[in-house]
């Protein structure tokens, strides 16, 4: 019998709990600060047991999954390092950025021989809350594992196997670079476009009537939550700053070509973008 503790019963954590709790070999204990979420989860069979505090249940756990918002994960890792845990326990998380979390885990868990594997699934919707627990949420979704050791990653992968994700070991550097390019920078560009348009043209209600599909697409994610994105952007600082410089350089190539009336350079730049975009969704 595996004793699995899931901390944070939001959409991501509750979905994990629900799938894993269905396995006869598992017993999932949910931890959340919200009492309503806990009783909902118990009532709906999402968890076997519930606790309002990790400290009370950590010592029996074979696996501890930290699925809270990213800003609380480091704090929980620190508190885990103060507890006496099972010798073979694996601690993992679901945070979307990894460097800071891996650094803290290495600093406080590794010296105590507590095994930590960073995790990040490219899953999740705009919904939040335990009532969105979804058994298909992770199906065929890339799920990155940042292993402290290969054997720990394999053990975790075996336990998580019922969620049917596509597990992929990756280095923390590669992971954070990838997230910067495919998620963080697009958000910054979308925010920047919306702000610049407003600065140049005035209130968006006045120019909104003119915009076509392109502008709407490019600014859709500018409606994302400010607090969440402030946290995300600050937690992936190094990789974002590198990619931002590269984006600005690329924009300057366009400006220079336009300034020089250099049709041939523009054709090359646009053609390579077009080609890459065409290939993006081929696989």
Q: Pick out residues in 78-107 that bind its own copies (CB under 8 A).
A: none
Cβ closer to its own copies: 48 or 229?
Answer: 229
Which residues inside 240-269 make contact with its own copies, applying CB under 8 A?
240-241, 243-248, 250-252, 254-255, 258-259, 261, 263, 266-267, 269
75 binds its own copies (CB under 8 A): no
The pairing of beta strand 49-51 with beta strand 26-31: parallel
**Sequential DSSP letters for 110-139:** GGGT-EEEEEEES---S--SGGG--TTTTT
Q: Closest by alpha carbon to 186, among 211, 222, 212, 232?
A: 222
Q: Closest by alpha carbon to 54, among 23, 26, 82, 12?
A: 82
Please report how close the Cβ of residue 135 comes to its own copies at its closest, in angstroms.
20
Q: Which helix (H) or strand (E) holds 58?
A: none
The answer to whether 148 and 116 are in contact (CB under 8 A) is: yes
Which residues inside 133-192 make contact with its own copies, applying CB under 8 A?
142, 166, 177-178, 181-183, 185-192
Cβ closer to its own copies: 51 or 269?
Answer: 269
Among 34, 48, 79, 122, binds its own copies (CB under 8 A): 122
Which residues inside 216-245 make contact with its own copies, applying CB under 8 A?
216-227, 229-230, 233-234, 237, 240-241, 243-245
Which residues inside 25-64 make contact with its own copies, applying CB under 8 A?
none
Please report how close the Cβ of residue 101 comes to its own copies at its closest, in angstroms.
17
- What dihedral angle (degrees, nearest 10) is formed by the CA atoms of 47, 49, 50, 55? -120
């Amino acid at each position: 019998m595996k004793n699995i503790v899931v901390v944070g019963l939001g959409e991501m954590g509750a979905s994990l709990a629900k799938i894993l709790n269905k396995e006869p070999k598992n017993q999932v204990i949910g931890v959340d600060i919200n009492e309503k979420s806990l009783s909902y989860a118990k009532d709906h069979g999402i968890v076997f047991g519930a606790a309002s505090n990790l400290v009370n249940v950590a010592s029996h756990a074979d696996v501890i999954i930290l699925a809270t918002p990213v800003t609380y994960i480091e704090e929980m890792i620190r508190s885990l390092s103060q507890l006496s845990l099972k010798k073979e326990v694996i601690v993992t998380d679901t945070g979307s950025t990894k460097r800071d979390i891996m650094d803290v885990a290495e600093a406080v868990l590794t010296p105590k021989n507590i095994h930590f594997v960073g995790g990040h699934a490219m899953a999740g919707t705009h919904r939040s809350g335990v009532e969105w627990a979804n058994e298909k949420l992770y199906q065929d979704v890339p799920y990155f594992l940042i292993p402290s050791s290969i054997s720990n990653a394999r053990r975790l992968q075996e336990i998580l196997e019922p969620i049917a994700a596509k597990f992929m070991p990756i280095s923390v550097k590669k992971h954070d670079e990838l997230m910067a390019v495919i998620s963080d920078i697009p958000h910054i560009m979308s925010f920047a476009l919306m702000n610049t348009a407003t600065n140049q043209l005035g209130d968006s209600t006045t120019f909104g009537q003119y915009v076509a599909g392109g502008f709407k697409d490019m600014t859709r994610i500018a409606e994302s939550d400010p607090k969440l994105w402030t946290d995300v952007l600050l937690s992936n600082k190094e990789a974002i700053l590198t990619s931002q410089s590269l984006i600005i350089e690329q924009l300057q190539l366009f400006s220079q070509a336009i300034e020089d009336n250099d049709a041939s350079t523009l054709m090359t730049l646009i053609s390579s973008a077009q080609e890459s975009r065409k290939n993006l969704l081929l696989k």
